[in-house]
Amino acid sequence: MPTVSSAIALGSNLGESLIILKGAVTALGRHPNISTVLCSSVYTTAPIGPPQPDYYNACALLETDLAPEELLRTLLRIEAQFGRVRRQRWGPRLLDLDLLLFGDVVMTTPTLQIPHPRMHERAFVLVPLAEVAGDWRDPISGKAIAQIAAAISHQGVKKLPGVTLLA
């Protein structure tokens, strides 16, 4: 498969979240079929779902020659390496890695939907994504990510100054 640009969201609200997020970016960069191109700033955001601590969120741009399903499996393995156990939808988590965009691919399978189905509603995804991929066009709407991000409220999304996930 040729190399494809992809975008992922990273989140954590349990444990040493910043260390976990940095570790996840490092794990991605160590994969032989993935290059981490760029990471956004880290943002703190209010959680969606049951009462829980605030999240640390970021987005990363990757280059990969993996197929979308294999990239997803890789993300799930990295989550597991950091202790992620899926217990409750929208519950607290040590690490959450979501595949948001994969080139201009639009696909739906029983385990994967690209673009991510709720990406367009979530400032905690769109704000960091617009920082690193503002010109990327959503393959469904044709709108730039920055344009989509500008159309939603950024309330509760706060940039964490001086924090970087890339070594």
Give me the numbers of helices (H) and strands (E) for the chain, helices first please.
4, 8
Among 30, 73, 84, 135, the active-site one is 84
Catalytic, 138? Answer: no
Q: How far apart are CA 165 and CA 153, in angstroms?
A: 25
Catalytic, 135? Answer: no
Among 73, 89, 93, 135, the active-site one is 93
Among 96, 122, 135, 137, the active-site one is 96
Burial code (b: 16+ CB inside 10 Å, e: under 16) for 82-119 equals: bebeeeeeeebbbbbbbbbbbbeeeeeeeeeebbbeeb
Catalytic, 87? Answer: no
Catalytic, 93? Answer: yes
Among 30, 86, 87, 98, the active-site one is 98
Catalytic sites, residue numbers: 84, 93, 96, 98
